[in-house]
Amino acid sequence: MLPILSLTLATLLIGTVATFFAGPRAKYVAAAVSGVFLAEIAAMFLMFSWPGIGVGPTHFAESETYAWIHVAWLHVNYTVGIDGISLILILLTGILQAVTVAYSWNETRQPGAWFGLVLLTCLGCFGVFVALDVLLFFVFWEVVLVPMFFLIGYWGGPRRRYAALKFFIYTHVASVTMLVALLVTAFYSHSPSLDFAGLQGSAATLAVPTQVILFLSLFFGFGVKFPIVPFHTWLPDAHVEAPTGGSVLLAGLLLKLGAYGLIRWGLEILPNGIAHAAPVLYAVAFASIVWGAGVSLAQRDLKRLVAYSSINHMGIVLLAIALDTSLGLLAAVLLMFAHGIVSALLFMVSGSVHHTFGSRDLASVNGITPTAPTLSTMTMAGALASLGLPALISFPAEFTALLATWDKLGYWVLIPLFTLVVTAAFYIWMMQRLLFGPPKGIPADAHDLPYAEAVAMGVLVILTVVYGILPNLLVHWITLSPVAGLP
């Protein structure tokens, strides 16, 4: 059988290195790498659904294991594998890498480094989604931080140093907590094994209070990436200072790492932990949902508004995960995908508004529709998708998430439900200020979207509509994996 996962990793690795050294031609290399990556993802989908292939003893299809570090008492393997959840997130990685490259096609400042770092971020995310060994997972997890740090710190806005450092410190403290918790889980058992199945086995031998404590530590570690209230303040700063491509990857992929980690290395490793710690997660999720929406309403900076709305959406993801039901898990993965696509679109919109009109201030840039009709259409599509309009991608995700919440928590669902009104309010109000009304603050040389940006956003809008009308295209793959059928 074709070792498709390792092949993809190799492609991305070689592609990244090649891009770094390609100088002004980096964008062509990056585009080629994205194309190959997407082809390989298509191959993964094919192999995943081929009957009789792939579903190995650990429930992971395409599983590959090679010894990496073996000493007498410690076995660290290079183990990779995918299930339905990672497959969907890998698809998201491929899509976002391609559109980020397309969007920043005209990047002139150090294009080699820019495209190389973009590819490296996606490489790290892909690694996180396939790694089935704690150490391998952690390596990829940290690999993601470095390029993002430089993307913000070099190409960012005026306060980029502050934002990059804040991002790095927050996420690093969190990942250290996470690593310690995972290692403790592994080393508590008598034959420490660092791969996924081994960790599951050794976690089962732990006392329940220990499991709960470990789970909460993991929750903190992954939660900062979500981000959860009150550890969220790095996100708006990072987004506001990050360049558009950086924001797209940050919101579209990096936030998903936390949610994915919580499912893969929290929920599935420590089922007793989630069973007892769920109320904590619910409380944090509700707080994030309400807080994100409430603070968004007061924002004047378009990008900050979108950033806070991410906190709100990821709060719903957390809620769906915390429910610990198969419907909740399905909803969480759908929402992650939906938010990845839609927030990427909205951050591209903010970026384009910023460099077309010189400002993202909703109080000083108004009525852009006559000047930039295409940009205006993209803004509407993004805002409507994000507020959960049916026939767009977020709706099936939010619908299943709220249905799952009602099933498990009953009338608590009113909290996220009524937050939907607030979400609608800040997007509709944003559109009223930015798109409609008499034009104001429009520079004389303002123009509609450049071709590259329009293509990148157009692809995302099309995906939003297609998956919104036919969510089974995603659901089918997620539910193929036995893991999504978590009891």
Positions that interact with other proteins (CB under 8 A): 72, 229-230, 232-233, 291, 294-299, 325-327, 330, 367, 369-370, 384, 389-391, 395-396, 399-400, 402-403, 406-408, 413-414, 417-418, 420-422, 424-425, 428-429, 432, 435-439, 470-472, 475-476, 479, 485, 487
The 8-class DSSP code of residue 291 comes to H
CB of 99 to other proteins, least distance (A): 22
Nearer to other proteins, 17 or 448 (CB): 448
Residue 393: phi and psi, rounded to 5, are -65, -35
- C-alpha count within 13 angstroms, C-beta hemisphere, residue 61: 26
Nearer to other proteins, 8 or 272 (CB): 272
CB of 392 to other proteins, least distance (A): 10
Question: How many Å apart are CA 201 and CA 290, to the nearest integer?
Answer: 38
Q: Which amino acid is at 293?
A: A
CB of 228 to other proteins, least distance (A): 12
Residue appearing with tokens 């790498």: 33
CB of 418 to other proteins, least distance (A): 6
Residue appearing with tokens 């599935």: 268
The 8-class DSSP code of residue 57 comes to T
CB of 274 to other proteins, least distance (A): 14
* Contacts by residues 408-417 (CB-CB < 8 Å, ≥ 24 positions apart): 408/323, 408/325, 408/328, 409/282, 409/323, 412/282, 412/286, 415/286, 415/289, 415/290, 416/286, 416/289, 416/315, 416/316, 416/319
Nearer to other proteins, 110 or 326 (CB): 326
Structure tokens at 243: 């360049």
Nearer to other proteins, 5 or 474 (CB): 474
CB of 485 to other proteins, least distance (A): 4
CB of 353 to other proteins, least distance (A): 17
Nearer to other proteins, 157 or 294 (CB): 294
- Say if CB 9 and CB 127 are below 8 A apart: yes
CB of 266 to other proteins, least distance (A): 19
- Count Cβ atoms below 10 Å from residue 131 Cβ, excluding itself: 26
Nearer to other proteins, 277 or 402 (CB): 402
- Say if CB 268 and CB 329 are below 8 A apart: no
Q: Residue 342: enclosing H or E segment and its boundaries?
A: helix 326-357
Question: How many Å apart are CA 290 and CA 285, to the nearest integer?
Answer: 9
Nearer to other proteins, 10 or 473 (CB): 473
CB of 171 to other proteins, least distance (A): 14
Nearer to other proteins, 436 or 451 (CB): 436
The C-alpha angle 212, 214, 219, rounded to 5 degrees, equals 90
Q: Could you check whether the bond before residue 230 is cis, i.e. omega within 30 degrees of 0? A: yes
The 8-class DSSP code of residue 77 comes to E
Nearer to other proteins, 33 or 389 (CB): 389
Structure tokens at 57: 């003893």
Question: How many Å apart are CA 225 and CA 220, to the nearest integer?
Answer: 9
Nearer to other proteins, 115 or 477 (CB): 477
CB of 249 to other proteins, least distance (A): 23
